[in-house]
Chain A
Amino acid sequence: QQQVKQSPQSLIVQKGGISIINCAYENTAFDYFPWYQQFPGKGPALLIAIRPDVSEKKEGRFTISFNKSAKQFSLHIMDSQPGDSATYFCAASINTGGFKTIFGAGTRLFVKA
């Protein structure tokens, strides 16, 4: 199974709050898990990424939590700001010849001022 399931589909958070987006996968051959941020009309931009041998990675206000046994990972955005309003995609990379990236369905985040 080369799917990555992402939830929720949309999220509204108050400024200063915590935004949490969850993802799950089944294929243990995935070995790299990036998160991308996309603004309307733009390409996906790498936000933060983690490898499966690490349980947590933090960069500024963004934290990935990774649970290898549960095959789940999540993005936490602390102190959410209106400028964080965008679509967030979790993804997983797998080497089936070309090391492609499989994207989740995306979460539209809106941070209310």
Chain B
Amino acid sequence: EPEVTQTPSHQVTQMGQEVILRCVPISNHLYFYWYRQILGQKVEFLVSFYNNEISEKSEIFDDQFSVERPDGSNFTLKIRSTKLEDSAMYFCASRGGLSTEAFFGQGTRLTVV
């Protein structure tokens, strides 16, 4: 069964450092997403990406965040200068078309120390 894969599963970084979280969406999917889940809280939308550009972003997705699809398979989330409050699980998701389900990866646990 096709799945969304994310690497690394856990990333520890120093405050102020840059991190890149990587995702391989399901092939042939067209819509890509990053979500965040702070421990014990709900899953929050960060950004959607379609046709090689951001289609929507939330208030959380400020100038410290960027996304990229550098090749035909990877989809990355970069946090330029991490803050303690960026510590969370980050989930990548992809969707084949509109009005269909989004499939989520297993997440990357980011710990900022």
Contact = CB atoms under 8 A, between A and B. Distances in A.
Interface of A: 31-32, 34, 36, 41-46, 49, 51, 89, 93, 95-106
Interface of B: 4, 31, 33, 41-45, 47-50, 54-56, 91, 93, 95, 98-107, 109
Nearest to B105: A43
Nearest to A45: B104
A44 B47 CA distance: 17
B37 to A, nearest CB: 9
B63 to A, nearest CB: 19
Contact of A103 (B43, B55, B99): B43
Is chain B's binding surface mostly helix, strand, loop or mixed? strand
Contacts of B100: 32
Given A41-B107, A46-B103, A95-B98, 11 more contacts: A32-B99, A43-B105, A51-B99, A89-B42, A97-B48, A98-B49, A99-B48, A100-B45, A101-B33, A102-B45, A104-B42
Contacts of B91: 43-44
A51 B95 CA distance: 16
A98 B48 contact: yes
Contacts of B41: 105
14 contacts: A31-B99, A34-B101, A41-B109, A43-B104, A43-B105, A43-B106, A46-B101, A89-B42, A98-B33, A98-B50, A99-B31, A100-B33, A103-B42, A104-B42
